[in-house]
Copies of this chain bind each other. A is one copy, B any other.
Amino acid sequence: MPSKQYAILVDRLKDLSYLGSALGLLHWDQEVHMPPAGAEMRARTIGYLSGRTHEQFLALDKDKLLSKLAVALKDKDTAEAASVRDVWRSYRREKKLPVKFVREFSELCSEAHVVWAKARETSDFSLFQPLLEKIVAMKRQEAEYVGYKDSPYDALLDAYEPGATCAQLSPVFSELRDFLQPFIRRIVRAAASQPSLPDLKGTFPIEKQKAFNALVAEKMGFSHAAGKIDVSTHPFTMGFHPQDVRITTRYDERDALYAIGSTVHEVGHALYEQGLPVEHFGTPLGEAVSLGLHESQSRVWENQIGKGRAFWTYFYPKLQKAFPKPFKRVVFEDFFRIVNQVRPSLIRTESDEVTYNLHIILRYEIEKGLIEENLKVKDLPGIWKAKMKEYLGVCVPDDRQGVLQDVHWSGGSIGYFPTYTLGNLYAAQFYAAALRELPRLQTDVAKGRFAPVREWLRQKIHVHGKLHSAQVLVKNVTGEELSSRYFIEYLKTKYGELYGV
């Protein structure tokens, strides 16, 4: 009887999740608290536990429990069957990777992370280069272990966005690039003839900023009893389980908006994690669908909601009260234009929602080139500069603001970046559906009532865990398959109004 066998599988999955929580905490602490001298031993600790997790994941099928369940439930349309299918998919991938390889790779990444941080600080790519070369070589090796049809990069993509391939992504990304390049040029031209906007720089004590960000998070529905907000160089969200979800943000004493954007983004992720069904903890039914889907939740809050008129109608008076200087003298319309300013720039995480996807497409092309062995690591600083010039018209002054800016590669995450653009596309499509189904959405948000849109996302997306694939879920929620149409329309409408293009 599958249900009894499934219960045994669930127990094993929970044990795996405990190991996963411990690993998560080791990573979180590494970013947020660990003293510098602890790095080497931490790398070994994470390497060891990653190896053990990998072994134990493979032991899911030690007595053929998993493979028998996979056969028995193959075409069944139940939650259990969906759960088993997902574990089986991951299992088959993982089984192809030798334990020694997984452990070595994890150790390499922990080391690389520390070196990257130093290289970034000193803007010295040559420090990071040998480690990135090793990472690329090992990811190439991973693709060979896993197997692929067309491009070895497909094998890496699949780990983050199941089913995604270069054959699908490349045309979508090209189409988007072809829309964005002229659209951005038109905006830049229009901006040049607009009246200049006030300067929002000032002095914003970190403690006051922390209080404001905590308030925004709470209003959005972030549970401080089941989560925490900390500080790290590169903001991230870590959900150990729905009752302990931690985000990090970062503060600039001269710029109050710097932290808010990143907080709203991470809270979007955190709401997904806090909204997952705790009763399914440990199983795919208690997990997020994919990285692209996860990003859609952060993006819809950060952009469609968090950079909208309604959001700031509610929060701007509060911001003015918290920081009278300079906001008291800045009228809403000017503030709103500044929040939504389009400006081709160097740093992905600070870029606006219009230029953002060109940063991703650039990374996608580089990663694909590295893994398909058309590009060499040592040439990256130059390639980066050339592409930034071509796509966004900006000159990269140093590697810190160029090829060294992102944490991902130092963590071995190659194939991850494309999920950001997928997230943007999903976000726009979900938001369009939410607007159709919740006609009062904007009115509510303008009054600080975030519950309706949050609960809509929760019921439509969060509570289902991984019951459906991203493809099926998008269709269930929006009535159609993923399309770039909603995102392009959203940009055209919003920025048409703001810039008259």
Contacts and interface: CB of A to CB of B under 8 A. Distances in A.
A238 to B, nearest CB: 12
B37 A18 contact: no
Given A21-B45, A35-B246, A38-B240, 16 more contacts: A18-B45, A18-B48, A18-B49, A21-B41, A22-B45, A29-B29, A33-B230, A35-B224, A35-B244, A37-B223, A37-B225, A37-B244, A38-B226, A38-B243, A40-B243, A41-B243
Contacts of A281: 41
B34 A244 contact: yes
Interface in A13-72: 14-15, 18-19, 21-23, 25-26, 29, 33-38, 40-42, 44-45, 48-49
Nearest to A23: B22
Contacts of A26: 22, 25
Contact of A225 (B36, B49, B223): B36
Interface string A230-247: 100000000011011010
Nearest to A34: B244
Contacts of A34: 244
Copies of this chain, count: 2
Interface string A244-278: 10100000000000000000000000000000000
Interface in A450-501: none
B29 A243 contact: no
Nearest to A21: B45
Q: Which of A40, A48, A228 has the most CB of B within 10 A?
A: A48
Nearest to A33: B228
**Minimum-distance CB pairs A-B, first 9:** A38-B244, A37-B226, A18-B48, A37-B243, A18-B45, A22-B22, A21-B45, A37-B225, A41-B241
Interface residues of A, number: 36
Contact of A226 (B35, B223, B227): B35
A34 B230 CA distance: 12
Nearest to A223: B37
21 contacts: A14-B44, A15-B48, A18-B44, A19-B49, A21-B45, A22-B49, A29-B29, A34-B244, A35-B226, A35-B227, A35-B228, A35-B243, A35-B244, A36-B225, A37-B225, A37-B226, A37-B243, A38-B240, A38-B244, A41-B244, A45-B240
A24 to B, nearest CB: 10
Contacts of A230: 33
A230 B38 CA distance: 16
Nearest to A56: B52
Contacts of A49: 18-19, 22
Interface string A130-172: 0000000000000000000000000000000000000000000
A222 to B, nearest CB: 11
Contacts of A48: 15, 18-19
Contacts of A25: 22, 25-26, 29
Contacts of A18: 44-45, 48-49
A105 B41 CA distance: 29
A46 to B, nearest CB: 9
A244 B42 contact: yes
Interface in A73-125: none
A100 to B, nearest CB: 14
A49 B19 CA distance: 7
Q: Which of A33, A224, A226, A246 has the most CB of B within 10 A?
A: A33
A421 B63 CA distance: 53
A35 B22 CA distance: 16
A448 to B, nearest CB: 24
A24 B426 CA distance: 40
A33 B19 CA distance: 19
